Every structure is written in structure tokens, then in C-alpha cells.
Amino acid sequence: MKPYELDIILGSLYKSDKNEWERTRWLGYVLSLPNIDRKKCPKFGPKDLIEFAWEEDTSSKNKPELPKTISKKDVKRLEKTTNKFLEGLKNIDLDY
């Protein structure tokens, strides 16, 4: 197994775990419906039971403002990083 394959596998496991939690929350929501008074809680939904970390507010209010221009120092730093990355790609063994 190559190192880049590990990242793909771990990402898939995360999505699988996320789906299991979503399914569990939905089941809890459906099972709680007979006990909920719709007159008192008309907008009761699955997110009212629990909100997961991946559902946090991602509005622009919470994001820091990015600079509108890139300095020459940043351009040189990015070029250097890109060249290192490209050199590393040349050394990857693609034998399957």
C-alpha cells in the first residue's frame, strides 16, 4: 500500500462513520415522534436531538478575511513549495 492510498481509505472510513451517526440520529428522531407534541414544538427535526461537529455554522461571519493581493514573498514561497512537490512526484513508483 502506498502512502497516498492511506489518505483515500481513511477518508472513506470517516464518511462511513459519519453516515452511521446520521442514520442513528434519524432513527432517534423517528422513534421520538410519537412523544412530541407538534403544537408545542412545530419545527422539531433531527438536528434538534443532536448537532454534529461537521454541521457547525460555516457562514462567512466565522471566516477570517483573506488578503486581496499576494505579496512577492508569498509567491516565492509558493513557487518553492510547488517545486518541492513536483520533485517528489517524479520519485513516486507507480508500479501496480
Quote the CA–CA distance of 21 and 25 in Å, as a whole number: 6
pTM higher than 0.85 for the full model?
A: no
> Per-residue pLDDT tens for 51-96?
888 887 655 566 677 777 888 998 899 899 998 888 887 777 666 5
Q: Which conformational region is residue 42 in: left (phi greater than 0), alpha (psi within -120 to 50 degrees), or beta?
A: alpha
> Per-residue pLDDT tens for 12-53?
777 778 889 999 999 999 999 898 888 888 888 888 888 888
Q: What is the DSSP letter of 62?
A: S
Domain boundaries, the chain: 3-56+65-90
CB 26 within 8 A of CB 46: yes
